[in-house]
Amino acid sequence: MDNIPPEILHIVCSLLSIDDIINFRLVSKTFADIGAAYMLPEVTFYMHEEELKRLRDISLHPIFSRHVFSLTYFAQALDSPKFSFREFVIDYKQEMKWNRKKKVLSPTQLLAEYKKYEEAVDKQDVIMRTQADVALLKEVMPRFPNLEQVTMSSDAMFYEGIYVARRPKPFDKIQRGNNRCGLDPEGVRPLEAILSANADVKCDLKRLRAGTMDWKFFKRSAGELARLFKPLSNLTRIELMITVDGMNETTDEADVIARCRRVLSKGALRTIFRLMPQLESLCIELLSWDGGDLDRGASLRHIIEPGFHWPSLRELLIGGVDCDRQELMAVLELHKETLRNLCLRNVSLKSTSWKKLLPKKLYLTEPCICGDLYGHPEGEDEPDGPDWPQLDNPYFEPGLEHWYLSVPEDGRHDMRDSVNVYCRLGGTTYPDELPLSDEVVDKYYEKHVKGFLEDYYGEFSDDDDENEWEDVSSEDDNSADDDEDDDGLFGDDNDGEGMFMDQFQMLLGDVIYAHLDHSHNTPY
């Protein structure tokens, strides 16, 4: 085992899950030392005293701390201000109506649970009042010399489907722990804690992810925004998922959207993004409770300064905004030499048409036009007859274009897939006929879309996936037992002399397969 080059062991570890790395480290001291570097590539924590202690302990570990590249602050928290005992009981009774299997608590047990909840909220309030989390972040972030990414995540944002298991949350054993809504406004305080700490210690961060976060985060002075974001001038990737809705407001959603629009129109986001000249990936989406609403929380010009150019921008995701096609094309044309991945989601063209925009040619390798697309006919264009009027669309108005293309998370959508193949590689992979009608989609889908997706993603043919690594060196069609084949390839399991190497070879084989989708299965 000692003859295996360290470089190979590092490659293996980089592709293993945490559970496999734990087993990997049991083989030998060399394996243990190398595996330690991959135990905690990402550290996550909540606003809880035990979580903060855990974060400090990791930062003081001589090996783990040197290999942390990502730090995530989960925004979930208990109610603040805390519920009264009466509210606590009402909430419990309401939960019991929906969960008949849950253990019924006596009044004495309920009081004990409330005391536990009350104590946890009081400790959480101390953290907020003293800003203990900010102070700790200032202490620990410099101890992570390879820290490149910070994240503020409301529950599972940025982590959907990535992790096999999650470590227990500190609130899981608290009665109201499963019914918490977090602090209002959502995501604002934990993101401010991360950025405030970094403003003082100035880590050389490359990536920032924040979502979901309330739009009120940007309702602050230009000087304060500069203090928080100027130290992030070396970012190459930024992702912001901003909520724009009235769920926790006393006014209706339209008023909230208008207030958000007034704040963002002053240029907070424009100023922030101008501070990041090295951006390679810019992803920003404004999320509203009613995604089909015609009102948007911002215009494109509120987010991207007209005429501003990022020399290395390869990926752009814009969602939940409005603009005109000329305004959007000006941004895309300015970055056409580098831009390869483009996602436009729930974008509304205020007075222009998608039928005029989409035929514009860009050399995109990964286009994604999705969600609700609104526009207005230009020139001789008329709305497509069979779909008009859209009686099922509450926002329908005469002269309005609307297509619902769904989003990739919801699975395949024939029109969305057709539009995206049409926009790919300057239009060279699809006939010169815009697929914004069912007739055009049906006409070309089988030949130009489904076939392309089969070749490009391999998602339609299970046989191809199964045979991709098949050994075809022998045409012998005997039906030998699978166990015998494995013995021939890896050696007899009962042969003690080569057992460790055989196990390592099997592990290496698993790693090769895992490399096909190399997401870490790290519990967080």
What are the Cα distances from residue 199, in Å, to 59, 195, 230, 243?
Answer: 19, 6, 8, 24
> With 50 as the cut, is the pLDDT of residue 403 above it?
yes
The pLDDT of residue 179 is 57
> What's the rounded Cα separation, in Å, for the pair 299 and 320?
9
pLDDT one-digit tens code per residue, 77-120 = 988 888 889 988 888 888 887 776 667 888 899 999 999 999 99
The pLDDT of residue 454 is 83
> What's the rounded Cα separation, in Å, for the pair 375 and 347?
9
pLDDT one-digit tens code per residue, 246-281 = 555 656 667 889 999 999 999 999 999 999 999 999
The pLDDT of residue 116 is 92
More confident residue, 265 or 378: 265
Indicate the pTM of the whole model: 0.82
The pLDDT of residue 193 is 98
- Percent of the chain whose predicted confidence (pLDDT) is above 70: 77
> With 90 as the cut, is the pLDDT of residue 501 above it?
no
> With 50 as the cut, is the pLDDT of residue 511 above it?
no
pLDDT one-digit tens code per residue, 151-209 = 999 867 887 655 545 678 888 888 776 655 568 889 999 999 999 999 999 999 999 99
> With 80 as the cut, is the pLDDT of residue 300 above it?
yes
Over residues 341-364, the mean pLDDT reads 93
> What's the rounded Cα separation, in Å, for the pair 392 and 389?
9
Q: How confident is the model at residue 406 (pLDDT cuts 50, 70, 90)?
A: very high
- Percent of the chain whose predicted confidence (pLDDT) is above 90: 52
> With 70 as the cut, is the pLDDT of residue 514 above it?
no
Q: How confident is the model at residue 29 (pLDDT cuts 50, 70, 90)?
A: confident
> What's the rounded Cα separation, in Å, for the pair 32 and 9?
11
Alpha helices in 131-217 (DSSP H): 132-140, 188-201
> With 70 as the cut, is the pLDDT of residue 492 above it?
no
Beta bridge mates, 370: 345
> What's the rounded Cα separation, in Å, for the pair 296 and 38?
43
Over residues 45-53, the mean pLDDT reads 95
> With 60 as the cut, is the pLDDT of residue 61 above it?
yes
Q: How confident is the model at residue 453 (pLDDT cuts 50, 70, 90)?
A: confident
Over residues 68-74, the mean pLDDT reads 95
- Asked if 197 and 137 count as a contact pair (C-beta separation under 8 A), the reply is yes
The pLDDT of residue 462 is 42
Structure tokens at 185: 């406004």
Quick one: DSSP state of residue 174? Answer: S
Name the packing angle between helices 85-98 and 107-130 (round to 10°): 120
Residue that has been written with the tokens 């009774």 in this structure: 93
Backbone CA torsion sign across 244, 247, 252, 256: negative
> With 90 as the cut, is the pLDDT of residue 385 above it?
no
End-to-end CA distance of the chain: 31
The mean of the pLDDT values for the chain is 82
Return the CA Rg of the chain.
Answer: 27
Over residues 148-152, the mean pLDDT reads 97
The pLDDT of residue 178 is 60
